[in-house]
Structure formats: C-alpha cells, structure tokens
Amino acid sequence: MLDWLELLDRTLFLKINSLHTPLLDTFMWHMSKSWHTYLIVFVVAYSFYKKFSLKKAAEFVLGCAIVVACADMSANMIKHNVQRYRPTHNLEIKKQVHIVNEYSGGTYGFISSHAANTFGLITFMFFCVKWVRPRYKFLLYLYPLTVAYSRVYLGVHYPSDIFAGMLDGLLFGTLVYFVMNKYFFKTDAQKS
C-alpha cells in the first residue's frame, strides 16, 4: 500500500513539475517568496486597526506570529526527524526534475513549511475577520493553495509534503485562534 501511495505521489509530482512555461516559471518563483504573506498580514492588521483599535491589531499580529512559530517549528521538527529527501535531492528522479533559477531547496521536504505557514495564517485570518461574509472568506484560501502548488511546480516538494503541511497549518491556525479567542478577542471584534 505504501509503495503504491509513494508511486502515486511521485507520478503526480512529475506531472505537475513538467508543466512549465517561462511565464509560469516567473509567477511560481515569485509566489514562493514570503513578502506576499507579510503584505496580507499587514492589510488585515490595518483593517483591525481601522475597524476596532490598535490593541486589536496588535492582538491579531501576535496571533499570526504564534501561528507561524508553531507551524514552522512543527514542520521543521517533522522534516528533520522523517528525513525524506526533496525531489531535487532524490537521486532516483533528480535528473527528471525541472528546477527554476537553480533553486533546489534544503535537503529534506516532508513536511512543507511553506504550506504549513500559509495555511496556518489564512486559517487564523479566516476565523478572525468576522466582518467578511463566509462565502468571500473562503477566497482567502486561493493564496495558500497557489503557494503550495508553486512548491511542487518548482520541484522542491511532493504533493504529500504539501498535504501534510496543509494539515499542520490548518491545525495550528485553528488552535491558536481558539486560544486567542478565549483570552484576547472578547470585545468589539466578536460583536461584528
């Protein structure tokens, strides 16, 4: 069973990684950068400041920092304990992997920190931005999905690395929100 799943994972990876165009190479390269995430956090924090107060904005930023710390540390702990080679470091398929800008990532890839961090932050934001209608809030998930796809496209993660990172992020984004909600988000932000 595990061999079949690994073969499926590798086959899906090679299919996604082979779909290259110069325009997509540039787009996916930039989607793997962190500055977009900081910009999203800044925009939402500014919305908290304008709608509520500087205190609420600071609480939101604190929650984001805790989510990233938890998701990133757990992803890296798993990565260094499991020690599964990234596709770019896997000697069996390394020559089949299309890389962009000579980027091959670190040695190990399971689980994806990019997926954990972005899914964690967006999940935390999803719960926090109560003034946005739920059907529109789900659009927030287009961002981590694109970042996650970019990691497979760039050849540095298998789909299973992304899936496990996504679950890690969803867990910590939800957990941190409920802890923060219990101790911090008790006033005007909840009434909206």
Mean pLDDT by 10 residues, the chain (192 residues): 82 92 94 92 95 93 97 96 94 90 92 97 95 90 96 96 98 96 64 42
55 part of a folded domain? yes
DSSP state of 156: S
The confidence score (pLDDT) of residue 73 equals: 97
With contact defined as beta carbons under 8 Å apart, do 128 and 190 qualify? no
pTM of the model: 0.90
Residue 6 lies in a domain: no
| Residue 88 pLDDT | 93
Note whether residue 177 is domain-resident.
Answer: yes
The answer to the question of residue 28 being in a domain is: no
Q: Is residue 117 part of a domain?
A: yes
Return d(Cα 30, Cα 147) in angstroms, integer: 9
Given a contact cutoff of 8 angstroms between Cβ atoms, the answer to whether 155 and 17 are in contact is yes
pLDDT at 128: 94
DSSP assignment string, 64-79: HHHHHHHHHHHHHHHH
Residues 125, 159: Cα–Cα separation, whole Å? 24
Q: Is residue 144 part of a domain?
A: yes
What are the pLDDT digits (tens) for 87-108?
999 988 989 999 999 999 899 9
What is the end-to-end Cα distance of the chain in Å, rounded? 49
- Rg (alpha carbons) of the chain, rounded to whole number: 18
In the chain, how many domains are there? 1
- Is residue 10 included in any domain, yes or no? no
Give a yes or no: residue 26 inside a domain. no
Range of the domain at 168: 35-191
